[in-house]
């Protein structure tokens, strides 16, 4: 369980910010103050802190340098950078240096600040749970040794063999995960190019058949932002293979002609997936394919095309009441084992008011079951999206994840799960400053 008072270290040259935190959150958090980097390191060695908050101005260093020092020496500590907006934008411009940090803007906003601190609480909770699981595992092995002394040698040998085999398998899967993460846009780069968004990306196994993709095409007069969320056949390593095929093909298609609309891109993606799979020198016994929601955003104009997946748009009417519109994709997947000629997809274009939310999803959340074998359902998801659309994107992610955890209980995750929510207008200040051209957002790079 999360402790009654989450330990937080505030690092800065002046105690003013420290006192602001204490006054803003008198309960639930335990704040301590370090004026210098040396004092900060000494306190981190002496005590366990869940969150470290660094100001830009520290007596013997800078906030960015202090955060980097914490990341290197105390990787389990959640790191937050607090600064004026112009200092935050300066840090965003160097995201490769501080890409694992989150930001708190000055002056402090109670809601945004609490959201950031509660992120630290999540990390703290998971760390404690991991420690608990590790202790339980050690106790399990001890019980086996005490109960079966005569078989301890055999069990130890079997266990060691299993560990070696499992380690080899996990090493291969971890390598696949690193490759997949290098292809998927990192949240640090999404932070740089999208003004307001949230991403829930939960592979069922280490690697995922779900994937998400973004691309920016910028002309002198207009900028087109492409964004997609897709669900490949299967999960784990086979699904991850399909996701990498899909991502690679999307980059090739948009690179050859950046001014295509979504339906044309999906038609080429369909042909490319079928060709790629048939070149793999194996017979296809299942319908290997991809369901995908692809959106092109030009200011307030949204053009959507889907293969088996819908697009949800939540906006306010003239009475400031939130309502959801569902644009259904074509009922045909990308790829498949049977050769289908002249496959066509449909574009849906509409003007979406500023402040509206668009949601791209796979079916992982709707299909998730609970302990009673009831499914979450798309109806429940849509009702929840209407309920939370007025919140900040961070708040929406927090409530959706809590809703999923509460519904799922102890039931295992049954499929990969991805939800990408974006508030319009989509473009951040950094993406507006990009020169004319075509840019793929992949890994930690904007190419």
Kindly report, residue by residue over 167-197, the tens digit of the pLDDT: 777 777 777 778 778 888 888 888 988 999 9
* Selected residue with higher pLDDT from 15 and 421: 421
- CATH T-level topology, domain 184-446: Phosphatase 2c; domain 1 (3.60.40)
Per residue in 366-388, pLDDT tens?
999 999 999 999 999 999 999 99
* H/E element, 153: helix 152-183
- Give, as one character, the DSSP assignment of residue 149: G
B/e letters for 78-113, b = 16+ CB within 10 Å, e = fewer, are: bbbbbbeeebbeebbeebeebbebbbbbeeeeeeeb
Per residue in 26-36, pLDDT tens?
888 889 999 99
Equal CATH topology for 6-121 and 184-446: no
Q: Are 375 and 368 in contact (CB under 8 A)?
A: yes
Q: Which residues contact 303 (CB under 8 A, 6 or more apart)?
A: 261, 262, 295, 296, 297, 347, 348, 349
In the chain, domain spans: 6-121, 152-182, 184-446
pTM above 0.85, yes or no: no
- CATH T-level topology, domain 6-121: Rossmann fold (3.40.50)
Q: Are 353 and 423 in contact (CB under 8 A)?
A: no
Per residue in 111-143, pLDDT tens?
888 888 887 778 767 777 877 887 887 888 777
Token pair 């909770």 is found at 125
What is the rounded distance in angstroms from the CA atom of residue 217 to the CA atom of residue 392? Answer: 27
What is the rounded distance in angstroms from the CA atom of residue 155 to the CA atom of residue 167? Answer: 18
B/e letters for 412-421, b = 16+ CB within 10 Å, e = fewer, are: ebebbbbbbb
């Amino acid at each position: 369980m999360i402790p009654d008072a989450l330990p937080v270290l505030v690092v800065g040259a002046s105690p003013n910010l420290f006192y602001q935190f204490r006054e803003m959150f008198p309960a639930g958090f335990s704040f301590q103050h370090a004026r210098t980097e040396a004092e900060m390191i000494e306190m981190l060695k002496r005590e366990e802190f869940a969150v470290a908050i660094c100001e830009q101005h520290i007596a013997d260093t800078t906030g960015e340098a202090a955060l980097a020092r914490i990341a290197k020496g105390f990787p389990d500590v959640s790191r937050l950078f607090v600064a004026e907006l112009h200092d935050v934008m300066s840090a965003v411009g160097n995201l490769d240096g501080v890409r694992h940090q989150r930001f708190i803007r000055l002056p402090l906003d109670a809601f945004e600040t609490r959201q950031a601190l509660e992120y630290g609480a999540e990390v703290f909770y998971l760390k404690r749970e991991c420690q608990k699981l590790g202790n339980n595992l050690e106790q399990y092995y001890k019980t086996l040794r005490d109960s079966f002394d005569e078989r301890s040698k055999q069990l130890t040998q079997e266990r060691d063999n299993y560990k070696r085999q499992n380690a080899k398998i996990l090493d291969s899967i971890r390598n696949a995960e690193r490759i997949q993460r290098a292809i998927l846009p990192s949240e640090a780069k999404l932070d740089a190019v999208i003004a307001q968004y949230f991403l829930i990306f939960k592979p069922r196994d280490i690697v995922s058949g779900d994937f998400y993709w973004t691309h920016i095409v910028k002309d002198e007069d207009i900028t087109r932002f492409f964004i997609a969320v897709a669900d490949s056949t299967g999960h784990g390593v086979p699904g991850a293979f399909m996701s990498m095929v899909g991502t690679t093909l999307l980059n090739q298609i948009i690179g050859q002609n950046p001014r295509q609309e979504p339906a044309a891109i999906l038609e080429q993606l369909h042909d490319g997936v079928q060709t790629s799979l048939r070149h793999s020198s194996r017979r296809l016994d299942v319908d290997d394919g991809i369901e995908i929601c692809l959106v092109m955003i030009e200011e307030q104009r949204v053009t959507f095309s889907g293969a088996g997946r819908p697009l949800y748009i939540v906006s306010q009417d003239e009475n400031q009441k939130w309502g959801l519109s569902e644009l259904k994709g074509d009922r045909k997947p990308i790829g498949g084992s049977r050769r289908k000629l002249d496959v066509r997809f449909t574009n849906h274009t509409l003007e979406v008011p500023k402040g509206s939310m668009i949601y791209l999803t796979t079916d992982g959340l709707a299909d998730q079951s609970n302990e009673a074998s009831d499914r979450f359902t798309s109806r429940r998801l849509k009702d929840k999206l209407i309920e939370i659309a007025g919140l900040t994107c961070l708040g929406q992610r927090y409530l959706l994840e809590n809703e999923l955890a509460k519904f799922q209980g102890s039931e295992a995750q049954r499929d990969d799960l991805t939800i990408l929510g974006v508030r319009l207008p989509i473009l951040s200040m950094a993406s507006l400053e990009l020169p004319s051209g075509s840019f793929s957002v992949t890994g930690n790079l904007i190419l």
